[in-house]
Structure 1
Amino acid sequence: MTTDATPPSTPPSPSPGIPPSPPPGTPPASPRAPKGGPRALALQRRRHSAARFWKQYRTHRAGLLGLAALAFFALAALTAPLTVGSDVAGVTSAPGRPLESPSGEFPLGTDQFGRDLLGLVVWGSRVSLLVGLLAAVLSVAIGALVGITAGHFRGAYATVMMRITDWFLVMPALVLAVALATVMSRSLGTIVLAIGVTSWPTTARLVRAQTLAVEARPYIERAKALGGGHWHIMSRHVLPNVMPLVLAQTTLMISSSVLAEATLAFLGLGDPTVVSWGGLLQDAREAGAVSSGDWWYLVPPGIAIALVALAFTLCGRAVESVLNPRLGVAR
């Protein structure tokens, strides 16, 4: 007996240029990740955020003016070894007569040793800006650490830390800084430490309030329910949300740190081996520039301190307004 064997049916070949359809029952393919992976996506988001921040920052004319002034002072500080030379502070190589009034050769006059005051002011910007920046970073870092941990753990720890913060708030920061600078060696590190450890309470209070507001949001409860630990909550959820406040506070703290450094140097607690704006004012006071009418010895470093403090304040207010538009800071 013969049987008719029918050949197995073969699927029709796809038409040229048309991809074959998946077999029945195959789950749909998941959408492809962006080209470059999650890191590229995160980098793209940061670029968009930076572009959006700069677009909003440009609308603040005062902030742009402060940024231009800071760029000028930063450029002068970075190029000081090329423009005025590294031997400008040398007493033995002073090119002019002591306390010479401004002239074509010395646009800002000379100090009590015959050194060019213009070169001293430019060179002093390096120390004043560096100390102000480092002291502000140290102060904000301590304040952010205390504020985030006190807002997260609460309980007895938060009570103790807030009482310590209140004690630092009621104590005059300048008096504490003078006491620290007196008992320690006279150096730039001592000035940075004295300013940083006495000016953090305001930042701690602000960061703690923001931390409490962030941790009251529902996604924090979901993260805790999914097993997120203390470090995960603070580093992945709280810190990114308080970082804009920390950035704005850092910008504002630099101006206060520059003024504090100038004050300590004016009181004779700075490093006598380096040139700073506060040190120039202290030298002018010792030389009797006030009583003798040598105004050119006092005015240039004083104006430089005031301009830098004003520039950082303008930038800080603009950054604060961009990051928190509800403040309604005047442009």
Structure 2
Amino acid sequence: MSKMGTAGGILLALFLLTAVLAPVLAPYSPLDYSGSPLEKPSFRHWLGTDGTGQDILSQLIYGSRVSLLVGISAAFGSTLLGAGIGLAAGMYGRFADRFLTRFIDIFLTIPHLPFMLLLAAHFKPQLSTTIAVLIFFSWPVEARLIRAQVLMLKRREYLDAARLAGASNSYLIRRYILPDLIPLLLTQVVVRSSWAVLAESGLAFLGLGDPTAKSWGMMLKHALDYQAIYFTSAWQWLVLPPGLCITLLILALTMVGYALEEKYNPSLNEVK
């Protein structure tokens, strides 16, 4: 992997380690009222407290769990759904390919942001709803990419020989197609995770996320709900830390995803 991918992998590993060790690393529970409202950073609260007296550092540490959970779950869900539809379209061809391709194109023409806001506002605000909404709007990109790759793999001579020997499409997918697609699918999971993390933060910031989950986007929303933040130095420990964490996590995922795409994405290799 390139130096950029290695750097992104190290940064991503730090976030994963923080999420796993959150109960050990966090000085307080993110739900505890451990201080006075809007305390400045001190030895007791390294990043201060929010408007309700809850520790900012503890919320940041536990917030990594929410962002990674939503990002990875939405990415896996959209990649698996898109891969299934793309495989069916590419392998079975003719009517199935035409129907599924039009189905994919219809979803690609839907304006994502307005419908995401509409669905998130209509259903119960919880993490499962956020993940489902993100999967619903992100699978068509993966489906088109997998379909194109399957159409390319189908033209290989050893697949023609296997068909002449009586191999079924399901056997060809299981024995030959999927092993070649796994690196590309893993790359798409990483790439789609960065989009999902940003989308979850945006929905939470707009008040459409799970209000009980201490996510970084929800921290930003609560921070900007206090009018005093615009006239004091409180923004330095209420806004900057969650915003910086979102930026660094997306940067890490983007760096790793780009490095993997350089290695495994056939379209990029063709351009080179």
CA distance in 2, matches of 1:309, 1:205: 24
The structure 2 residue matched to 1:287, chosen from 223, 226, 230, is 226
Q: Deviations over 1:250-301 (max 9, x none)?
A: 1111111111111111111111112111111111122236533431211111
SS in 2 for 1:199: helix
Root mean square deviation, CA, Å = 1.9
Write the letter of the residue equivalent to 1:190.
Answer: T
Pair 71,289 (structure 1): closer, same or farther in 2 beyond 3 Å: farther
The structure 2 residue matched to 1:171, chosen from 101, 110, 130, is 110
CA contact (8 A) 1:289 1:297 kept: no
Pair 86,233 (structure 1): closer, same or farther in 2 beyond 3 Å: farther
Q: Residue 83 of structure 2 aligns with which residue?
A: 144
CA contact (8 A) 2:117 2:208 kept: yes
> Is structure 2 residue 121 aligned with structure 1 residue 182?
yes
> Is structure 2 residue 73 aligned with structure 1 residue 131?
no
> Is structure 2 residue 255 aligned with structure 1 residue 314?
yes
Q: Residue 8 of structure 2 aligns with which residue?
A: 66
Shift of 1:326: 7.9
CA distance in 1, matches of 2:84, 2:92: 12
Shift of 1:120: 0.7
Q: Residue 193 of structure 2 aligns with which residue?
A: 254
Write the letter of the residue equivalent to 2:154.
Answer: E
Identity between Structure 1 and Structure 2 (%): 40
CA distance in 2, matches of 1:155, 1:207: 17
Write the letter of the residue equivalent to 1:66.
Answer: G
CA contact (8 A) 1:138 1:197 kept: no
> Is structure 2 residue 134 aligned with structure 1 residue 192?
no
Task: Specify which structure has the higher proportion of helix.
Answer: 2
How many residues get paired?
Answer: 268
CA distance in 1, matches of 2:74, 2:263: 24
Pair 140,289 (structure 1): closer, same or farther in 2 beyond 3 Å: farther
Shift of 1:116: 1.2
Q: Residue 33 of structure 1 aligns with which residue?
A: none
CA distance in 1, matches of 2:139, 2:266: 25
For residues 291-306 of structure 1, what are the structure 2 equivalents within 5 Å? 291-293=230-232, 294-295=234-235, 296-306=237-247
CA contact (8 A) 2:50 2:238 kept: yes
Shift of 1:75: 1.0
SS in 1 for 2:248: helix
Q: Residue 206 of structure 2 aligns with which residue?
A: 267
Shift of 1:152: 0.9
CA contact (8 A) 1:174 1:260 kept: no
Q: Residue 102 of structure 1 aligns with which residue?
A: 41
Write the letter of the residue equivalent to 2:256.
Answer: C
CA distance in 1, matches of 2:168, 2:124: 42
The structure 1 residue matched to 2:183, chosen from 228, 239, 244, is 244
**Structure ranking higher on relative contact order (CA contacts 8 Å, 6+ apart):** 2
Write the letter of the residue equivalent to 1:126.
Answer: R
| Structure of larger gyration radius | 1
Structure 2 residues without counterparts, runs of 5 or longer: none
> Is structure 2 residue 51 aligned with structure 1 residue 112?
yes
